């Protein structure tokens, strides 16, 4: 495989960060796609139908989750998260690579457990941060730390999904925002598995802008290629 000049430059720079212990991964939904992860559209398809919306004509998936919550409360959303992510038990080749190259810091908006399990499969001691309470405990001899800033499938009632969840995030999960600010200033991130229709990407990028303003250090991002035709509005 032939790399472009820009790709070679990224590889050289990121390898230096890995060797210095200053590299971090931020994983979105796309990282788990090959393991059977369904995207936001498919996750919310049935819920959208229950509130008489056609998911193919909607783009604000966070709003759909909120509308469903307003009508049915949290139960059905929780069931959806548990049922969709429990079956994801084995990571992909990409998970395996990431677990082997010496990166110690991982952030993710995913509810699955593929990152931590892939690291553990390599014999690594992993510290998880899922709730605020987890910040009061620290594993001294750890190989990696995984911040699950939007929760975990085991606690679907605490997962970040609705507009209310996003709006109250900084109040309810302030420790995550503080930790993220510190890592964004001190480490070089590689963002993986995000696409332009992923509401988490907008949220994370807006958090970076809010937290750091114009002082954001250089980070890297691999984005899913999209077809412009897929985003053309449909008119009846």
Q: Which residues are catalytic?
A: 150
Q: Whole-angstrom Cα distance, residue 116 to residue 107?
A: 11
Residue 199, SS3 per DSSP: helix
The 10 Å CB-count burial string (b at 16+, else e) for 90-124 is: ebbebbeebbeeebbbbbbbbbbbbbbbbbeeeee
Residue 105 backbone dihedrals phi, psi, to 5 degrees: -120, 125
Instruction: State how far the alpha carbon of 11 is from the alpha carbons of 7, 28, 141, 184, 221, in Å.
Output: 6, 20, 29, 19, 12
Instruction: State how far the alpha carbon of 211 is from the alpha carbons of 33, 107, 165, 192, in Å.
Output: 29, 16, 18, 21
Residue 26, SS3 per DSSP: strand
Residue 93 backbone dihedrals phi, psi, to 5 degrees: -60, -35
């Amino acid at each position: 495989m032939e790399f472009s000049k820009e790709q070679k430059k990224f590889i050289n720079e990121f390898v230096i960060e890995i060797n210095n212990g200053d590299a971090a991964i931020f994983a979105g939904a796309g990282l788990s796609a090959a393991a059977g992860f369904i995207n936001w559209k498919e996750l919310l398809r049935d819920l959208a139908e229950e509130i008489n919306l056609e998911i193919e004509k909607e783009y604000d998936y966070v709003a759909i989750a909120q509308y469903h919550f307003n009508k049915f409360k949290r139960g059905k959303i929780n069931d959806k998260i548990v049922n969709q992510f429990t079956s994801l038990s084995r990571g992909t080749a990409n998970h395996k690579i990431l677990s082997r190259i010496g990166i110690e810091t991982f952030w993710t908006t995913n509810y699955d457990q593929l990152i931590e399990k892939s690291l553990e499969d390599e014999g690594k001691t992993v510290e998880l941060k899922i709730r605020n309470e987890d910040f009061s405990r620290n594993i001294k001899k750890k190989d990696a730390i995984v911040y699950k800033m939007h929760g975990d499938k085991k606690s679907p009632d605490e997962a970040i999904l609705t507009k209310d969840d996003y709006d109250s995030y900084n109040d309810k999960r302030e420790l995550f925002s503080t930790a993220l600010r510190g890592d964004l200033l001190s480490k070089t991130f590689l963002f993986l598995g995000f696409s332009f229709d992923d509401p988490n990407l907008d949220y994370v990028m807006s958090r970076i802008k809010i937290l750091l303003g114009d002082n954001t250090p250089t980070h890297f991002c691999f984005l899913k290629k999209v077809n412009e035709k897929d985003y053309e509005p449909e008119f009846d």
